[in-house]
Homo-oligomer: A and B are copies of this chain.
Amino acid sequence: MEVDLTQSINNNLFTINNLWMMIATALVFIMHLGFATLETGLTRSKNTVNILFKNSIIPALGILTYTLWGFNMMYPGESFAGSFFGFSGFGVFTDAEGLTPIYNIGYTYWTDFLFQAMFAATAATIVSGAVAERIKLSSFLIFSTLFVGIVYPVVGMWKWGGGFLNELGFYDFAGSTIVHSVGGWGALTGVVFLGPRLGKFGKNKINPIPGHSMPLAVIGVFLLWLGWFGFNGGSVLSADPGLVSLVLVTTSLAASAGGVSAMISSWMYTKKPDITMVLNGILAGLVGITAGADLMGPLSSIIIGGISGSLVVFSVVFFDKMKLDDPVGAMSVHLVCGIFGTLAVGLFGSKAGLDQLWAQVIGIASTAVFVVISTSLMWYVLKKTMGIRVSELEEVEGLDFGEHAMEAYPEFEKVS
């Protein structure tokens, strides 16, 4: 009887943990809508259908790709092929109970799969923002499929699948490097291979190209903050009360500090409080805290978020000066703050120390090398074969007309 009771108690705990992981999955899912509206709001209305199309189909393509092979590459389990690459077969299958006994004791195999699948597609969505308003739809869909299907799972396996970065002591709680900088590096190579939008950089002049809808951008950032409760909170991999609630606090404090810090920095720098900087500051704080959200106290979280919020303001200016055209600031948010957040694990909180800092540097560097090389190769081949950029005429008229023969707002008069 004692055994039965213990079993029932454990079953209850399993049910609770699994419930939280499913809710976290739903929260990460809604980040895709956040990315969609943020990217749409920060770009021009003539490219809106195209951006919405990409952001609607990427989660779908990403989930299917991840089902067919991505999940089994990232978490090879016993079919471990080495520290750098693994694969345990095609398709997602399991027994009737939906439980897997191998590496997962807190939730079902199905929950594990879906939570990871929702994560996977975010990496491609990050790239989407940086290459917006000029990339060819078909090429981007192929890139995204390969990116979610191969690049992301390989790096993910290095850490979360038990690969060499994990063995080395590299720490990345919810993916400042594994998710955000992976997306960020893919964004950077995309921006380099594509070149800037027409008219962005004149002679000694940077022309701002304002986004067409600030409400959509704000909706996006709030949904992303909401989703981050699942992104970071779910990365605890259980409903552990102390740890999950700590993570929600550190996440929210970093987001808040990021927003306030970006407000102050941009207000001082441009003399006007810039809403897009506040929004990117909030996201910067979220990306920054992601690597160590479970290791920090309130003060460290505020410091990390605050630094991230300022970093993003100056990074946006820096990339503009480098003539790297990123319509939504994806590189500043996800790459720069992803790197900073990863380093912050060695600088603040309960794992701070030189050894840890060194492990973090190795993780950042090896991710950089692999993603830059693999995505450059992908962009290069796509450029040489199908082309990656729309024609000048199409870019001027808008991708909505050229790629989709549709308008996002057919009824409203445009300023000419």
Determine whether the beta carbon of A37 is less than 8 Å from that of B215. Answer: yes
Decide: A33 and B222 in contact? CB cutoff 8 A.
Answer: yes
B241 touches A49 (CB 8 A): no
Q: In the complex, what residues of B have CB within 8 A of residue A9's CB?
A: 5, 8-9, 12
A99 interface residue (CB < 8 Å to B):
yes
By the criterion CB–CB under 8 Å, are B279 and A241 in contact? no
Chain A interface extent, by class: 35 or more
In the bound complex, do residue A278 and residue B212 qualify as a contact, i.e. CB atoms below 8 Å apart? no
Q: Label chain A's interface by main secondary structure.
A: helix
- A52 — which chain B residues lie within 8 A by C-beta? 214-215, 218, 275
* Contact of A20 with B by CB under 8 A: yes
Q: Judging by beta carbons under 8 Å apart, are A110 and B245 in contact?
A: yes
Q: Are the CB atoms of A64 and B256 closer together than 8 Å?
A: yes
A45 in the interface (beta carbon within 8 A): yes
Across the interface, do B410 and A411 meet the contact criterion of CB distance under 8 Å?
Answer: no
A192: CB under 8 A from chain B?
no
- Specify which chain B residues have a CB less than 8 angstroms from the CB of A407 in the assembled complex: 210
CB atoms of B414 and A413 under 8 A apart: yes
Given the known A-B contacts A248-B114, A252-B114, are A404 and B16 also in contact in the complex, defined by CB atoms under 8 Å? no
Tell me the complex Cα distance, A63–B251, Å: 12
Of the listed stretches A54-62, A182-190, A336-344, name the one at the interface; the rest are far from the partner chain.
Answer: A54-62
Interface centre among A56, A298, A302, A413 (most CB of B within 10 A): A56
CB nearest neighbor in B for A34: B222
Query: A113 contacts B275, CB within 8 Å?
Result: no
By a CB distance below 8 angstroms, the chain B residues around A33 are: 218-219, 222-223, 226
CB-contact partner of A278 in B36, B57, B214, B299, under 8 A: B57
Given contact pairs A57-B263, A91-B298, A108-B245, A29 touches B225 in the complex (Cβ within 8 A): yes
Whose C-beta in chain B lies nearest to the C-beta of A309?
B60
The CA-CA distance from A276 to B192 in the complex, in Å, is: 32
Q: Does A361 contact B (CB under 8 A)?
A: no
In the complex with contacts A33-B219, A298-B92, A44-B415 CB distance below 8 A: no
Do B241 and A64 touch (CB < 8 A)?
no
Q: Is A412 an interface residue (CB 8 A)?
A: yes
CB proximity of A38 to chain B, nearest CB, Å: 11
Q: Decide if B413 touches A48 in the complex (CB within 8 Å).
A: no
How far, in whole Å, are A224 and B394 apart by their CA atoms in the complex? 33
Whether the Cβ atoms of A23 and B23 lie closer than 8 Å is yes
| Cα–Cα, bound, A260→B108 (Å) | 27
Closest-by-CB residue of B relative to A250 is B110
Inside 8 A of A378's CB, which chain B residues have their CB?
Answer: none
Structural contact, A56 and B19, CB atoms closer than 8 A: no
Further 13 A-B residue pairs, CB within 8 A, beyond A93-B297, A93-B298: A12-B16, A22-B233, A26-B229, A33-B219, A49-B214, A91-B298, A99-B242, A110-B249, A113-B249, A212-B409, A215-B216, A272-B406, A412-B415
